[in-house]
């Protein structure tokens, strides 16, 4: 019964304003569930409710049959949480950080020491285990925190934006850690990096303004949009007549066309002939995300990532 079930989860911090609005879904509590959404969408609120830190205003949630409100004590025994704002304590070393976390969770000293060493070796930081956290890079500090929960015996892990602000190499190292972790744990991950969700997640959940916009595998999420291709025209204000598809204009003034394969083929042949600068890609999670939350993507940024046709 490895399932996460939410039924009409609603949370209002203040009267009238809903941080979460009747969220209902049932997904496998296996691998990685990546929750994506704009700032203030409700990701942390959902995570805090499921991690028993916060009571929902109404609705119920169960993880593997355990009610996160009624059976909160039982639930807490099964989870480890890395909150969004967590920071490694400067005057401690990586070894002390992991050791103290594990002992705080109730592990005895010798087991905690063994697990901490194992975890540090797993992230290639054995040599730095006695260096003060204050002397580590931001990425190394974050890895120590993730290693702490990794070393815990909790089968369910909550990580709130663990890779925010990391350089691409540190991020990809953390991705490797999460990939290892998901083989044996259920990981609830929130992220602003859609590529991260695309690469790591078994299930993707899109929230916007407290409402569920879509949930499922990447394949299921793709079905939220009816078009398979995304074309960005890298010339401001360029008017294009499309036979099939939808066009949105970004805040930067560039047009993005979501369309079928046939129409994408017709348009790109035309653009090449007319020397119009554009980029074309299959709909990525990023495209789908912006489509679903109705906020078009920045064409220049996209072109950098996927290569541009001239
Ligand atoms: N303690 C609080 N008191 C009042 N309102 C809150 C509190 N925490 C969050 N909110 C509000 O609830 C909404 C959802 O916030 P939440 O932190 O869940 O968003 P988020 O998706 O995690 O955003 P971010 O990507 O910025 O971390 C926001 O409108 C926020 O202002
Ligand atoms: Mg948050």
pLDDT confidence tier of residue 251, bands split at 50, 70 and 90? low
CA of 162 from ligand 1 middle (Å) equals 17
CA–CA distance, 94 with 143 (Å, rounded to integer): 9
- Taking the CA of 13 as reference, the closest ligand is 1
What pLDDT score does 188 carry? 97
* Ligand 1: residue whose CA is nearest its atom 2: 13
pLDDT digits (tens, 9 = 90+) for 256-286: 898 999 999 999 999 999 999 999 988 888 8
Ligand 1 pocket check: which of 44, 188, 212 to mutate, most ligand atoms within 8 Å of Cβ?
A: 44
What pLDDT score does 295 carry? 54
Q: Is it the case that residue 307 has pLDDT exceeding 60? A: no
Cα–Cα separations (whole angstroms), residue 57 to 13, 16, 26, 60, 76: 8, 12, 19, 10, 20
Share of the chain above pLDDT 70, in %: 94
Beta carbons of 295 and 37 less than 8 angstroms apart: no
- Taking the CA of 35 as reference, the closest ligand is 1
Share of the chain above pLDDT 90, in %: 66
pLDDT digits (tens, 9 = 90+) for 110-153: 999 999 999 999 888 999 999 999 999 888 899 999 899 989 98
CA of 160 from ligand 2 middle (Å) equals 7
Domain with CATH 3.40.50.300 in the chain: 3-222
Is the domain spanning 3-222 CATH 3.40.50.620? The answer is no
Instruction: Pick 294 or 150 by higher pLDDT.
Output: 150
CA of 78 from ligand 2 middle (Å) equals 22
CA–CA distance, 260 with 272 (Å, rounded to integer): 18
What pLDDT score does 275 carry? 92
Average model confidence (pLDDT) for the chain? Answer: 89
* Ligand 1: residue whose CA is nearest its atom 17: 44
What pLDDT score does 224 carry? 85
Pairing of strands 156-160, 79-82: parallel
Name the pTM for this structure.
0.86
What pLDDT score does 197 carry? 95
**203-208 sheet: strands from edge to edge:** 79-82, 156-160, 186-190, 32-36, 203-208, 211-216
> Residues 6 or more apart from 184 whose CB is under 8 A from it?
155
pLDDT digits (tens, 9 = 90+) for 18-44: 999 999 999 999 999 999 999 999 999
| Protein residues with CB under 6 Å of any ligand 1 atom | 13-14, 19, 37, 39-45, 84
Q: What is the mean pLDDT of residues 78-85?
A: 92
């Amino acid at each position: 019964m490895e399932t996460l079930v939410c039924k009409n989860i609603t949370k209002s911090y203040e009267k009238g304003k809903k941080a979460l609005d009747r969220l209902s879904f049932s997904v496998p509590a296996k691998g990685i569930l990546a929750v994506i959404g704009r700032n203030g969408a409700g990701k942390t609120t959902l995570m805090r409710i499921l991690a028993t830190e916060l009571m929902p205003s109404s609705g119920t949630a169960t993880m593997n049959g355990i009610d996160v409100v009624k059976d909160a004590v039982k639930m807490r025994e099964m989870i480890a949480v890395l909150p969004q704002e967590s920071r490694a304590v400067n005057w401690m070393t990586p070894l002390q950080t992991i050791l103290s976390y594990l002992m705080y969770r109730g592990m005895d000293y010798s087991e905690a020491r063994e697990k901490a060493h194992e975890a540090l070796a797993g992230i290639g930081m054995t040599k730095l285990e006695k260096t003060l956290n204050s002397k580590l890079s931001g990425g190394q500090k974050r890895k120590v925190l993730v290693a702490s929960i990794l070393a815990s015996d909790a089968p369910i892990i909550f990580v709130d934006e663990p890779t925010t602000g990391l350089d691409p190499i540190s991020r990809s190292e953390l991705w490797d850690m999460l990939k290892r972790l998901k083989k044996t744990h259920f990981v609830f991950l929130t992220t602003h990096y859609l590529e991260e969700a695309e690469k790591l997640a078994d299930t993707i959940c899109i929230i916007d303004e407290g409402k569920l916009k879509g949930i499922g595998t990447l394949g299921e999420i793709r079905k939220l949009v009816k078009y398979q291709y995304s074309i960005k025209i890298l010339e401001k204000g360029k008017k294009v007549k499309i036979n099939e598809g939808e066009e949105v204009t970004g805040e930067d003034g560039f047009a993005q066309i979501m369309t079928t394969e046939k129409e994408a083929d017709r348009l790109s042949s035309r653009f090449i002939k007319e020397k119009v600068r554009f980029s074309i890609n299959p709909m990525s999670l990023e495209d789908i995300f912006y489509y679903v939350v109705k906020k078009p993507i920045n064409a220049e940024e996209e072109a950098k990532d996927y290569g541009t046709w001239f």
